[in-house]
Amino acid sequence: MYLKTTSNKESLYVICIKLIIVLLLGNFCLAQFPFAVNLCSFVGIVIIFFSSLKRLDFPSFLIQLFFCNHFVFGNEKGGVFNLAALLALIMYSVYDQRFIMLKSSFSKANLSFLFLLVVCQLLSLVANQSASFDAKVSAFFIFLSLVVLILFLSKIKIENSDYVRFIEVQFFFSIYLLVVSLNQKFEFIPFNSQLIPKFTDVEFEFNVFRSSGTFLNFEAYAEYSLSMIALLLPGVFSGSFKKVSLKFYLVCVTIIVISISGIFLSVTRSSFLLLPLVLVFILYKVRKRVKVKAVVPFITAVIFFFVVNSYVQIFDISAFAERSSKMNLSSLSITDIASGSEMNRGSIFAYAFKRIEQNGGYIGEGYFTTVDDYKSVHFHRAIGPFADYHNLYLSSIVIWGYLGAFFLVSLFVLPLYKGFVSFSKTSKNKSYDVDLLLGFNVLFVFFLINQYKIQFVRESNYLMVVMIFLVLYCSIIKNIESNSGSLGHV
């Protein structure tokens, strides 16, 4: 069942204006402002979200929520934007009860994994002996709210034209993200705010400055940048994005170049090393469809990027060598990678393995979104320089136990299997959506690799960014499976 959406969808500029207003209102939801200001701002966010839903432009609502979650402020209790979005969805479900009956783009297995994760969360919180009762109750309902929000989002039917709108908004946000990152390094904006965040009192390894974008996490920023490159490169190389429109193609090329800049600004070795693998993997997959005319503007833009940087020195490429100076790459082994000894993770990984061995790993201690409780789950204390183990797979065992970790990873592995099967059946179609499907396939393959040294669950806002990516992924798989006879129409 699908609701018939309006043909008069919100334009790109309306979405951007709404997004700006929501972000400004979100800034006034912080504790530093009076409660009355918090309440009025929160209600304003709910109204803006609800207005898109009432217009039946559900994808516009999803796009707004996706980009709101690129910031870290207000995210300790599930995220102010996520809670406002959930309230707007509940209100709309009461207003139009047909929405609750819509089919999810998630498979039955994925829906089961989400339900079982909630069960693991409940059991883990019950077993947690260190957190207070109030903290555990709050953690359960916050996690339940996030899961319900994800389920609601998976009911949204996303058409090919909606993916175009999503990428066009990404174009503007990528420029904004680049400005924020450059400002963190060069400080040309004379003030600091939640919307233009800067580092304060941070010491960097080897004194190599690392930009973090709006995420205030340079590894998440680099992973996100790599994800956008993986998502868009197939359509650029094959020329299918150019068939949508020349403007759209140039938008995608610009996003890719800015995303490459993001990896260099973050000075994150893992994403830097994975970038050529992403490039080779995509070239192999589209080798029979690569269009020279489509690739030339991309190569020109990349060359221009490096030429300009050689004169202006915006990006210090040698910083990667400085950060890797203590790594013994000549004798690097799988054991070194697994232990984290050559990834600046040795002591943390060792502690994690010891911790899992001590408690058996059969049941965790629960997922908390407050910093102190989250740290305590990993280290039994809220103090210390690290928030977690910098490894999704180790942390998820401590949070939910082995079964919970399995359910979490399966949420991504199962769609990946379906995504590659769908692509193998439709790869001969020279269409925009098939290349976008390949982009999502590559995105999540390298996302799961990258999660060995970082993790997306630390911040509830970034968690929702990843889960909305998953919603977009499952939706395009479903679209291609059901409309294989009419691919590529935007």
461, 75 Cβ separation under 8 angstroms: yes
Between the CA of residue 464 and those of 8, 290, 291, 331, what are the distances in Å?
28, 34, 35, 38
Whether pLDDT at 401 is above 90 = yes
DSSP conformational letter for 380: S
Q: How many CA atoms lie within 13 A of 213 on its CB side?
A: 31
Question: Using one digit for the tens of pLDDT, what is the confidence trace for 61-91?
Answer: 999 999 999 998 877 788 899 999 999 999 9
As given in the structure block, the two tokens for residue 93 are 């479900």
446 pLDDT band (50/70/90 cuts)? very high
User: pLDDT at position 201, please?
Assistant: 61
Cα 465 from Cα 462, distance rounded (Å):
5
pTM: 0.91
Which one has a higher pLDDT value, 355 or 409? 409
Lookup result for tokens 């939640």: 194
Q: Would you say residue 144 has pLDDT above 80?
A: yes
Other beta carbons less than 10 A from residue 252's beta carbon: 25
Which is more confident, 314 or 148? 148
Q: Is the pLDDT of residue 325 over 50?
A: yes
Average pLDDT for 307-329: 65
Burial of 8 (0-12, 13-18, 19+ CB in 10 A): exposed
Q: What is residue 487's predicted lDDT score, i.e. its pLDDT?
A: 42
pLDDT the model gives residue 335? 47
DSSP category for residue 331: G
Phi, psi of 184 (to 5 degrees): -60, -30
Which of the two residues, 421 and 490, has the higher pLDDT score?
Answer: 421
Q: Collapsing DSSP states into helix, strand and coil, what is residue 278?
A: helix
Task: For residue range 209-232, list pLDDT tens digits in order.
Answer: 888 899 999 899 999 999 999 999
Q: Which residue has the higher pLDDT, 308 or 341?
A: 308
Query: For position 199, what pLDDT does the model report?
Result: 74
Rounded to a whole number of angstroms, the distance between the first and last alpha carbons of the chain is: 22
Quick check: 224 and 218 in contact, CB under 8 A?
Answer: no
List all residues 6 or more positions away from 455 whose beta carbon is below 8 Å from its beta carbon: 388, 389, 390, 391, 392, 395, 396
Do 234 and 244 meet the contact criterion of CB atoms below 8 Å apart? no
- 271 vs 224: CA distance, rounded Å: 9
Among left, alpha and beta (phi > 0; psi -120 to 50; other), residue 118 is alpha
Kindly state the tokens that stand for 64. 């707004």
**pLDDT-above-90 percentage for the chain:** 59
More reliable by pLDDT, 256 or 455:
256
Query: Rounded to 10 degrees, what is the CA torsion of 433, 436, 437, 443?
Result: -170
Cα-based torsion angle of the residue sequence 205, 207, 212, 217 in order, rounded to the nearest 10 degrees = 20
User: Six-digit token pair at 36?
Assistant: 């009355």
Pick the residue with more confidence: 383 or 302? 302
Confidence category of residue 304, pLDDT binned at 50, 70, 90: confident
Give the pLDDT of residue 202. Answer: 63
User: Which H or E element spans position 122?
Assistant: helix 108-127
pLDDT at residue number 183: 93
The pLDDT assigned to 253 comes to 93
